[in-house]
Chains A and B, each alone.
Chain A
Amino acid sequence: MTRFLVRRSIEMGVTLVLASVLLFGILNLAPGGPFDARIAASHIQDTTYLERLNKMIGLDKPIHERYLNWVGNVLHGSLGESWNIARGQQVNVIIGTRLPNTVMLMTTGLVFSLLIAIVIGTISAVRQYSLLDNLFTAFAFFGISIPAFWFGLIMLKFFGLDLKIFPVGGLYSVGHQDDLIDRMWHLILPMIVLSLLQVAQWSRFLRSSLLETLRQDYIRTARAKGQVERLVLFRHAFRNAMIPLVTVIALAIPTLFGGAIFTETIFNWPGMGQLLVGAVGAQDWPVAMGVVIITAGLTIVANFVADVAYVVVDPRIRY
């Protein structure tokens, strides 16, 4: 186990470094710097001035030096300075103000999807091929095929604009930032939009996992000794069926973040996803790089956690 952990940790580090090299390289293929627009807009097209400005922020150096510089800063806990959306401000600070909002959205989305998926998955497995099961199957196909941003727009249009049941966006109503109920009210639509895909996938996954467990010998044993069906289900089958779900949930974290990008854009939720879209639109590469490298780190760690969690929760698996 220790050897496995050490090997996976080293792999994780190497992957993160390679990923950062690739992402940094890709971003630096983009032409231009933060001052191009300003120079182009001014009446004096002064290229030497532009060069001097670019030199000031190190843009004149070759790419490997710039990368090493960036890595050095990251190791000192700094992701650099924003170019355009908040010129000169530390990327850490910008991300720091956005991160809690995204974490809140993703956590509530994850818990909500999990609860619904467990209920749907269990009903589908226990009443296989019943009307409800078929309905849930149709729902799963629906949830997997529907583009999240379209679903978001529809919810926004009908529940926000037309019926005015829910607010159309933002974290809270003006003047209500300390009102918990108001904040929860703003959270509901984004949470539902973010959860749809996960509910569809996880409920199907849990259904097949539970069906697989129900045909095991120890379930037959439990039934044969006269165990009540409800206890067979919850004491014997359910826990074992949940094991693979741990991996699936860990691996879903990057997907959840992807979904958060749209949800935040549509519902004007000031989180990391909205920040990434804004930064990319304004060619603010340091900010975009910061967001993506954090997400990449999160993805790699999530993969690691999925592997380890699998071993921890299932004593039958050894490395």
Chain B
Amino acid sequence: MATTVSEPSNVLSVPAPATPVVEERVKARGELAIVWSRFRRHQFALVGLGALLFMVFVATIAPVAPFGPNEIDRSISDPQYVSHGFAPPSATHWLGTDELNRDMFSRLLWAGRISLAVGFLTVGIGATIGIFIGALAGFYGGWVDTVLMRITDLFLSFPFLPTLILISAMMHQYRFAADATLVQVGTIVGVLALLGWMDTARLVRGQFLSLLNRDFVLAARALGADGRRIMLVHLIPNSMAPIIVAASLNVGGFIIAESAISFLGVGISPPTASWGSMLADFQSYLRYSAVAVLLPGGAIFITVMAINFVGDGLRDALDPWLRNR
């Protein structure tokens, strides 16, 4: 999973002299506005957010791309490019063509849809499973906690990539009648979510344990709220900050995981493309085109880097310890 870099505060510097506290009327601001104003100060996070929004936008408008994702341009006549593809960029093909003379630019956009969709969907489903299990374990404690946490430990003891490859390969043996792209995306999201919920579960459980004895929870109990209400109204909303941070960082990890298994041939398979499967296709044509190698991998890299920046910024913006600084 995406691991991030934390910034410990500057220990070696001399603490700033205490400034006299000035009484000041503060305009009341909503939670979101506060988070946004703190997020905005993080320059890298802003750049990351911009890059990420750009990627999402470009993937969304894939249907207006000049060519279809699997459309082969048979008008290319140069024998060199007919034999092994990879025509150079031109007015018709802005980024050239791939090994079958499909338009690289259009295909990149369509592939981006798949990669981004897998990343975000998986995080949504994985986080939901994680919140559910973590909430039950943290709230009820006792044998429920023991059983659920043992299961979590069991899943954590699987080596992530080999298990992922194994399950994906097994799923690849089934031929479904439905739309191939949808089935492939659904399968990958399912498998990734199955192997990626554990950190959220542990996080939520920890949050619940620390929140359970707070006064507002005791007050809710005293007022006769049942377990479901306490969890849904009090505990989960109060645990959201770390969940959001972890989830945002996980998106990048899942995008890499998807491209990884597609690269190994057990994820998205032809003719559908994701950035990872494009790289896999180009692997055999390394000597013909440098650009071809740089493009899909670069798209993954930029997206994941952007997500990591955003996650880092979110962490700083949502961290209650830094509040009022």
Contacts and interface: CB of A to CB of B under 8 A. Distances in A.
Interface of A: 15, 18-19, 22-23, 26-27, 29-32, 128-129, 137, 140-142, 144-150, 153-154, 156-158, 161-162, 201, 204, 208, 211-212, 214-215, 254, 257-258, 261-262, 265-266, 276-277, 280-281, 283, 288-289, 291-292, 295-296, 298-300, 303
Interface string B28-62: 00000000000000000000000000000000000
Contacts of A156: 286
A257 B162 contact: yes
Given A144-B308, A257-B162, A128 B297 contact: no
Nearest to B5: A204
B11 A277 contact: no
Given A15-B154, A23-B163, A145 B308 contact: yes
A262 B11 contact: no
B158 interface: yes
Contact of A215 (B11, B264, B293): B11
Contacts of A23: 158, 163, 166
B158 to A, nearest CB: 6
For the complex of A and B, list the 10 residue pairs with the smallest distance between their C-beta atoms, beginning with the closest. A150-B297, A258-B161, A145-B305, A280-B169, A215-B11, A30-B170, A295-B159, A254-B159, A145-B304, A204-B5
Interface in B123-160: 153-154, 157-160
A128 B167 contact: no
Interface of B: 2-6, 8, 10-12, 153-154, 157-163, 165-167, 169-170, 173-174, 252, 256, 259-260, 263-266, 276, 279, 283, 286-287, 290, 293-294, 297-298, 300-301, 304-305, 308-309
Contacts of B8: 208, 211-212
Contact of A150 (B158, B159, B279, B286): B279
6 contacts: A137-B5, A149-B263, A157-B286, A254-B160, A277-B165, A281-B266
Contacts of B290: 157-158, 162
Nearest to B304: A145
B161 A147 contact: no
Nearest to B308: A145
A27 B163 CA distance: 10
B62 to A, nearest CB: 21
Contact of B264 (A142, A211, A257, A261): A261
Contacts of A208: 6, 8
A296 B153 CA distance: 13
A262 B164 CA distance: 14
Given A261-B264, A289-B166, 8 more contacts: A15-B153, A15-B157, A211-B11, A257-B161, A261-B162, A277-B165, A280-B165, A288-B166
A185 to B, nearest CB: 20
A154 B161 contact: no
Nearest to B298: A150
Tell me the interface secondary structure of chain A in the complex. helix
A153 B5 contact: no
A66 to B, nearest CB: 15
Contacts of A291: 162
A26 B170 contact: yes
A298 B161 CA distance: 14
Contacts of B162: 257-258, 261, 276, 291-292, 295-296
A230 B294 CA distance: 44
Nearest to A210: B8
A317 to B, nearest CB: 20
Given A19-B154, A145-B301, A295-B162, A283 B173 contact: yes
B301 A146 contact: yes
B293 A147 contact: no
A1 to B, nearest CB: 22
A288 B169 contact: yes
Contact of B166 (A26, A144, A145, A266): A26
A249 to B, nearest CB: 14
A180 B161 CA distance: 32
A292 B260 contact: no
A154 B5 contact: no
Given A261-B162, A277-B264, A147 B283 contact: no
Nearest to B286: A157
A201 B253 CA distance: 14
A108 B31 CA distance: 50
A258 B173 contact: no
A18 B161 CA distance: 18
A281 B265 contact: yes
B141 to A, nearest CB: 20
Nearest to A259: B161
Contacts of A161: 286-287
Nearest to B163: A292
A81 B315 CA distance: 50
A157 B293 contact: yes
Contacts of B266: 280-281
